[in-house]
A and B are shown apart, each in its own frame.
Chain A
């Protein structure tokens, strides 16, 4: 982390980093007509693909490739961004392609972040105006090229489904035919964007661009990269967080056939071999003595006990409305509860990996790269290079859920340090095993929440106090200056500090803890815990005051039409209030994250033996203008499955002594097909700017399920994971 403080990220804005999506609109659109230098040089030659601008390349074969500044990790970004471009370009969907843009923050910064990176469900939101303009500009350049070639006025030219036409003369040309000429046209300073009423691709279910490659085993991931002479590295990291290598003996590892080198780097000892199998056996033969003097040796139970003590005292204020103490003094009833959340590993299916090749004048990296600017700067720092000397090839990522968006470029730096340690004599492919992944930290932090509500004699909530205790994701990272303000890490309190409910006296407090266990954002970040604590607590209040959970929310959300919209839609579609057969129960939760609004109703069936199953989730979402409804539905299904996994499966535990107890999918269990409920997704029609959908489906599922169980059993559920047996119906 000390190294990291040397990596500076450009200060884009003081606005909240992750929630900056909404701020990414007017005034921030950068020079999309710039073209990457080397791409421009390549494109000069006739008969070559032509860069029309930084985002659009048109080839003589008439394919249009969108250079995606965002990582495709499953969320449909390539398809979504290509849709925005194709719409304004009036392209035919079949001619569209997408690929990862090079690392170049000047051209490809996430406008919500100020650096190149993907996260916070910002891809569509921050690219919306930028790529509409890029598409419209490219269209104007193609039209200008045709006008010049045909000697006709540009205003008489039409473009439809990838064909440029002039009706009066009967002339027609494809984009591919005009590309070379169009690339030489001076881009117009201003373009008119399409009237949304005329959209023919946005809002329709255009086919995912990656469906075929991902159904035939041909999609290229980092683990599939094979460069001439490439070696494979596995790294032995410390068994406890904060421990370091004291000494090691490489003799036995080096004796394993295929092992080429054993090298020490910052994070441990790496075995570099001709193939994975040799590297793995070599690593098993390593003998390392660890210095654990600074390591975390407490168990997670002990850490939680510390958190519970801390929650007895006030934290730093994250929100203060009205006079909470006075309101509690007046309350007819006070309700209190506390909620616990474990550490969670992201466990994407493709374990972390990168390929690093060093050259005399630079370095080249292949990765499912999620934070290009940080990874580029960090790699350059290790190698003593300028960032622009590090080329990053962003490939498909086999999932991430936040794990590849590392604030300290952890796995990239490891790969670069190993390549450097072997003197750059061969390209190195670093692979984490599943055990490395599960034990390797960067977890969703553990949290303890306490909530206290004061209710008047009419059942109105007049006071609300919420205390959150846990580690900060951001403190000590390059994001700290932007995202930590007055000691409050925005990601620790999001979803709680901006609780929409109409409660006049509200206090949200944060106590940030510190320990060597490394933590990171996990799909939907703060909302992974704040949505559960607030939504389950609200149902506890509803129960204690005899109010219907949906009716209570409607009352408290009167001033929040978009929350109300999804709540009402989900309730209606789920048949809220209709009688249920014996043993079946319903629960609801509504939550906004990343400026998208989601309500979910869970239908749960409880068996006589005390086990239960989620039968169905009915979701309603409002993510602004829907760009691709089918992908939105897919993302909500996915978010629900991901969230449900953490609802019913245990998290990461540290044993006494500080070692992680779990190691692979047999003891860090994840949701499997027989546990997946039916999912129904309803999309609120909207003309608002599009917001994200990769994450917002996740937060409501756990509280909706807990609330269903609470409704059907009168038991309380105050920790995740929920108990999967021993639940008794009333």
Chain B
């Protein structure tokens, strides 16, 4: 039985193992590779996508769980908050190796969509599930505060 869902605004139907994680379905079957594999265990956040607007660890979400839902990946980001976050990421030169940054950005966009003026503690809470081994955390924090200003303006 094919699993049907909406990916970045387009209807998708995938006839694969319904236990296949959403991450691998999107990467291997659909061919969108912006979302990354980091741990396969919902520990690092590199695979973060939005399901119905909420950040989800796609490496540990079976395809069957998103039947009929709206999924957004880094490739499908749009709108004021996403633009502000990505512009701030570029301005602050957050990325080093860059591998985790799609996931970081997805988590940051979800945070700023809900909370236009996050405190440092709010940022810690929302971003704690996203590991960056380059430890770009100082700049992630700065970029989120900066993007929040743009969103509020």
Judged by a CB distance under 8 angstroms, whether A500 is at the interface is: no
Segment of A247-255, A669-677, A685-693 in the binding face:
A669-677
A276-305, CB under 8 A of B: which get 1 and which 0? 110000000000000000000000000000
A contact residues around B46 at 8 Å (CB): 349
Which chain A residue shows the least CB distance to B94?
A: A215
Give the residue name and chain of the B residue nearest to A631 (CB). B93
Instruction: Bits for A627-645, please: 1 = Cβ < 8 Å to B, else 0.
Output: 0001100110110111011
Question: Cβ of B100 and Cβ of A349 under 8 Å apart?
Answer: yes
Interface of B is mostly: loop
- Nearest-Cβ distance from residue A645 to partner chain B, whole angstroms: 7
A479 close to chain B: CB less than 8 A: no
Measured in the bound complex, the distance between the Cα atoms of B136 and A631 in whole Å is: 12
Residue B39 is within 8 A (CB to CB) of chain A in the complex: yes
Q: Flag whether B71 is at the interface (Cβ < 8 A).
A: no
Give me 24 A-to-B residue pairs in the complex whose CB atoms sit less than 8 angstroms apart, sorted by A's number. Answer: A74-B98, A210-B95, A210-B98, A223-B33, A223-B37, A226-B31, A347-B133, A349-B99, A396-B97, A398-B98, A400-B97, A401-B133, A435-B40, A634-B93, A634-B96, A634-B136, A637-B135, A641-B135, A642-B134, A664-B40, A665-B43, A673-B123, A676-B137, A676-B138
Given A350-B97, A641-B137, A665-B131 contact (CB < 8 Å): yes
Cβ contacts B3-18/A at 8 Å (1 or 0 each)? 0000000000000110
**How far apart are the CA atoms of A276 and B33 in the complex, in Å?**
13
Q: Are B134 and A641 in contact (CB under 8 A)?
A: yes
The distance in angstroms between the C-alpha atoms of A666 and B44, with both chains bound, is 9
**Other CB < 8 Å A-B pairs besides A221-B36, A276-B28, A676-B141, 16 of them?**
A74-B97, A211-B90, A211-B93, A215-B90, A215-B105, A216-B74, A277-B20, A398-B36, A399-B99, A401-B133, A635-B96, A637-B135, A638-B134, A671-B137, A672-B128, A678-B138
Contacts of B98 in A (CB 8 A): 74, 210, 213-215, 219, 396, 398
- Which of the residues A207, A351, A397, A434 comes within 8 Å of B97, measured between beta carbons? A397
Residues of A within 8 A of B141 (CB): 673, 676
A630 in contact with B124 (CB, 8 Å): no
Shortest Cβ gap from B23 to chain A (Å): 9
Encode B36-50 as 1/0 by CB contact (under 8 A) with A.
111111011010000
Known: A275-B29, A638-B135. A666 touches B101 (CB 8 A): no
CB-CB under 8 A from A728, the residues of chain B are none
For B123, the chain A residues whose CB sits under 8 A away are: 673
Known A214-B101, A399-B97, A666-B41: A673·B134 in contact at CB below 8 Å:
no
- For residue A679, CB closer than 8 A to chain B, the reply is yes
Docked complex: A420-441 residues within 8 A CB-CB of B: 431, 433-435
Q: Which residue of A lies closest to B136 (CB)?
A: A638
Q: Are B93 and A217 in contact (CB under 8 A)?
A: no
* Residue B52 at the chain A interface, CB threshold 8 Å: no
In the bound complex, residues from chain A placing their C-beta under 8 Å from that of B67 are: none
- Contact mask for chain A residues 382-419; partner B; CB cutoff 8 A; 1 contact, 0 none: 00000000000000111111000000000000000000
A277 touches B21 (CB 8 A): yes
Chain A residues near B86 (CB-CB < 8 A): 215-216
Pairwise interchain contact B99-A640, C-beta atoms closer than 8 A: no
A224 within 8 Å of B by Cβ? yes
Beta-carbon contact of B96 and A75 below 8 Å: yes
Q: Evaluate whether A634 and B139 lie within 8 angstroms (CB atoms) in the complex, with A276-B24, A642-B133 already known.
A: yes
User: In whole Å, how far is A338's beta carbon from the nearest beta carbon of chain B?
Assistant: 29
